[in-house]
Structures are given as C-alpha cells and as structure tokens.
Amino acid sequence: MSSDQISGSIKTGIKKSLVAVGRQPFVRRISNVMGLGGKPVGSNIGIADVPLQGSVAVYFGDGADKIYQLTQWLPVLEELHAKEEVLLVFRTLSAFKAAAKFTELPKIFVRRFTDLMDIYDDNDLKLVIYVNNSRSNFQSLDHPRLVHVHVNHGESDKLSMVSNKAKAYDKVFVAGPAAIKRHQAMLVDFDLEKLVVTGRPQLDIDFKLELEPSKKLDVMYAPTWEGENEDNNYTSIDNYGEIIIDALLSNSDVRIIYKPHPRVETSKTQSIAKSHAMIMGKIAEANAAGGDHVISEQGNILAMFESIDALITDISSVGLDYLYLHPSKPIVITDRRTNRENLYRDAPISKACHVIDKKSIKNASELLQVALENDSNAAQREMMRRFYFGNLTRGESTKEFQLVVTQLIEERQNKLVNFRGWHS
C-alpha cells in the first residue's frame, strides 16, 4: 500500500479506513502521512504495527510522563497477546511515541472521541484494560459492548489505590484479600462482586538481571514521589532521605542502590528536587572515594530485586512487590506523618517492618543496623504476604489473569448473542 493510498483512506475518515484494512494485519509503520487539510496524520491518529482484529484493547489516556504506569504491565500483556491479540490504544501522541521504546505490541494513537468509538465499533475488540484512573478513561467507558476492566498499575496501601471511579468499570482486578478489604472500607455502596483476585502477574516475569550482587550487604533505598496532593504524599526523600543515605554510607559493609520513583527525577517540588540532588551528590562523592554504590533512576526495579539483600522504602507498591518475591528479606518502611496507629491501620505491612519516622530517624544508624542485620520479622512478613496476595505463588497470577480475561470475553459474547436493545 503506497503513501498516497494510505492518505486517501484517511481522507475518507477513520471509520472507513479501518474497515477497509481491518480484516488483514496492518503491520507497516506509517510516518509523515498527510491527512485532511494537508496536516500530518500525527495530529489526530498514528498507527504502528496494528493488527486491527485484536480482541483486547489496553487504553492509556495520559501523556509520556506517566508511561511507567503502562510499562510494568507490558511483559504481561505481551504474554497475553499470544492468546488474545492485544492492541495498545493511546490518546496522546507523546505516550504513543514513548511506548515504541518499550514494546512491539500493536499500538494506535487516537485523539478524537468519535474516532475512538469508530475503532471500537468497527473492529473485533471485546475487552478493554485500564492501568490507571485517567480522566479520559470515561470516554472509553462510554462504549457499552466491550468489557471494561481496571487493573491499576500496582498494589499498594496508598490512598489513591481506591477510587470511587471503580464503580464505573465492569470488573476490577486486585491482588488479594488486602485490596478487597481496602475497597470495602473506603467505598460506600460499592458492589464487591466487581472485584476479581488475580494476584500480581507482573511479578511472575523472569527479568534479565540488571544488577550484579556484591559481596557486601546490598541495600536498596527506593522512595516514592510526592503524589498529586498531600493526602497522597508518602515520600521520605525530603524528610528522611539524606539521613538514611548518611546512615548507610557510615556502614562500610553496605552497598547502596538508590532507586527513586521515576517521577522524582523531574519533580518540580523544591524540597524533593533539592534532597534528591543532595542524595545523588553524597553517593557520587562516596564513589569517588572508592565506593561502589549504584544510582538507577530509570531502571527496572523488579529486575533488581533478585540482587537486593534488604529494602528501605515508603508506602508504595515497591515494598509489597518485594514482600511477594522475598518475604524472608528485611524491609524498612517510612512514615512521614509519624502516626503509628494510622500507619498500622492504613499500611498493615508496617506491622512486620521496622519503621522510620520523625522519632526513630534520630537513631537512624542503630535502627538500620538492627533492622537489616538482626532481622526478627520474617515470620510476620510471611503472614503479611498471604494477607496481601493470598495463596497465589509465583507463576500462578499470570495463569489466573489470562483465564479471567478469556472468561470475561466469553461471558460477554454469550450475553450479546441473547441481548436485544430497546430500539430493536
């Protein structure tokens, strides 16, 4: 198909062009194609490696700054693609372009709502997966035929993990019992039947090792970012970060792996940016003096866990992921609000960890030495692992995820066969 032919198809409208090529895999990359009015097609739609007859769409409405919310799902989606063809649907050009760096899954960029509905109408898509609660999700949710499934981009005790928006989806995939209790406690008039336990399929992936273990005690400090508002601010960087790093640097038997949340690097919050820069400087200075500490701002944290002996982190998915994979290894949790009662209530994992807050940070070196070298919380962490993830073992989450997706598609197809709308 020539560029002129492609351009002609686009000029007749997205709907007609997709119908025209939708029955055959469309695997050729398009660039600099001119659309209506001589404008580049990128202003409205971009296509890359798209077999339009895919059955599962993965909707992403945000920009490239939040692409990490999707990338952690990509290995799982690539495995699903072998069973149920997957199409990545983007609403911003920046995310569409960014995704090409991470996956070869079929992908499409659609700016306009009407074109999105045409794609859903004219192709054999059956189920849509959402990895976050982007405001634009509600445009996609407007389509009544498809099964709409929210999977979120992690499992954590952050306030943002439970949203009243959950009521809008047909199903919400959760990791285990803790997530069910979280929804039950936070949402009024929520149908708990919407919740489906599928574990954490992302943690089943065997990643290529990104970090060689050392002969020292390899301790990762992995703080989260400051969130969209103060209620969702769980970061320790500004309050405790430098003190934690100083305490670790004072122990010659420790190698530090500093792995901040991807959004810390571009934070516009002055206190966060300043502390992050100070931490980077301290580690660089220690390495210049012969240290072998590691800074990884954009690496795959799951691919580093195998090399880590202990973890210091905030309330986030990082601590729970590490708990799932390595419940026998020490975890230290931070609490920026220094409210132990609320911490135990809102983040039960903290009951099985040493806690850094405004009181305990005064003796940071001693606390970390006890927590990391004289661990006594292994049994409690094993109990917490079951609380957060049930009895699913590594490898079983992926099977459950794929099974449920297939079942939901079959159930919806059976219902559609017998369904007659009011206008029939």
Mean pLDDT of 294-314: 94
Residue 48: the pLDDT is 56
Residue 254 lies in a domain: yes
Closest CA to 201 of 406, 411, 403: 403
| Final residue of a structural domain among 112, 133, 153 | 153
| Confidence bin at 49 (pLDDT 50/70/90) | low
Residue 223 lies in a domain: yes
Q: Is the pLDDT of residue 252 over 60?
A: yes
Residue 239 lies in a domain: yes
Q: Is the pLDDT of residue 7 over 60?
A: no
Q: Is the pLDDT of residue 20 over 50?
A: no
Residue 291: the pLDDT is 97
Please, are residues 145 and 416 in contact by the beta-carbon 8 Å criterion? yes
Same domain, 377 and 246: yes
Q: Is the pLDDT of residue 392 over 90?
A: no
Closest CA to 234 of 135, 296, 320: 320
DSSP symbol at 241 = I
**Beta bridge pairs of residue 58:** 88, 129
Mean pLDDT of 100-117: 92
When mean pLDDT is compared across 17-21, 147-151, 378-382, the lowest value belongs to 17-21
Q: Which residues contact 5 (CB under 8 A, 6 or more apart)?
A: none
Q: What percent of the chain stands above pLDDT 70?
A: 86
| Confidence bin at 52 (pLDDT 50/70/90) | low
Mean pLDDT of 41-62: 72
Please, are residues 259 and 220 in contact by the beta-carbon 8 Å criterion? yes
Q: What are phi and psi of 386, to 5 degrees?
A: -65, -35
* Tokens 């206190």 found at: 271
| Confidence bin at 53 (pLDDT 50/70/90) | low
Residue 124: the pLDDT is 87
Q: Which residues of 227-250 are buried (b: 16+ CB within 10 A; e: fewer)?
A: beeeebbbbbbbbbbbebbebbbe
Q: Is the pLDDT of residue 19 over 70?
A: no
Residue 31: the pLDDT is 33
Closest CA to 311 of 224, 389, 218, 376: 218
Residue 422: the pLDDT is 55
Residue 394: the pLDDT is 87
Could you tell me what percentage of the chain is helix, strand and coil, using 3-state DSSP and rounding each to the nearest 5? 45, 15, 40
- Reading the block at residue 98, the tokens are 């960014």
Q: What is the residue-wise DSSP string for 204-215?
A: G--PPP-S---S
Residue 229 lies in a domain: yes
Domain that residue 141 falls in = 3-153
| Final residue of a structural domain among 99, 131, 153 | 153
Please, are residues 54 and 128 in contact by the beta-carbon 8 Å criterion? no
| Confidence bin at 44 (pLDDT 50/70/90) | low
Residue 3: the pLDDT is 41
Residue 110 lies in a domain: yes
pLDDT per residue over 221-248, tens digit each? 999 999 989 999 999 999 999 999 999 9
Residue 90's SS3 state is strand
Same domain, 146 and 295: no
Mean pLDDT of 12-29: 34
Residue 46: the pLDDT is 62
Same domain, 40 and 129: yes
| Final residue of a structural domain among 137, 153, 169 | 153
What letter represents residue 20's amino acid?
Answer: A
Report the CATH number at residue 40.
Answer: 3.40.50
Residue 29: the pLDDT is 32
Q: Which residues contact 28 (CB under 8 A, 6 or more apart)?
A: 1
Q: What percent of the chain stands above pLDDT 90?
A: 75
Same domain, 256 and 342: yes
**Beta bridge pairs of residue 187:** none
Same domain, 120 and 244: no
Q: Which residues contact 407 (CB under 8 A, 6 or more apart)?
A: none
Mean pLDDT of 7-28: 35
Same domain, 55 and 147: yes
Helix (H) or strand (E) holding 129: strand 127-130
Same domain, 147 and 226: no
Residue 41 lies in a domain: yes
pLDDT per residue over 320-371, tens digit each? 999 999 999 999 999 999 999 999 999 999 999 999 999 999 999 999 999 9
Average pLDDT, the chain: 87
Strand 354-356: give its sheet, edge to edge.
294-295, 254-258, 217-222, 310-313, 331-334, 354-356
Residue 39 lies in a domain: yes
Residue 172: the pLDDT is 97
Residue 405 lies in a domain: no
pLDDT per residue over 95-108, tens digit each? 999 999 999 999 99
Report the CATH number at residue 234.
Answer: 3.40.50.2000
Mean pLDDT of 263-291: 96
What letter represents residue 24's amino acid?
Answer: Q
Query: How many CB atoms are closer than 10 A to CB 383?
Result: 12
| Sequence-ordered strand ranges (E) for 354-424 | 354-356
Mean pLDDT of 309-321: 96
Total of domains in the chain: 2
* Helix residue spans in 61-176 (DSSP H): 68-71, 74-81, 93-99, 113-122, 137-140
Number of H helices, E strands in the chain: 15, 14
Burial class (CB in 10 A: 0-12, 13-18, 19+), 37: exposed
CA angle 307, 310, 311 (to 5 degrees): 105
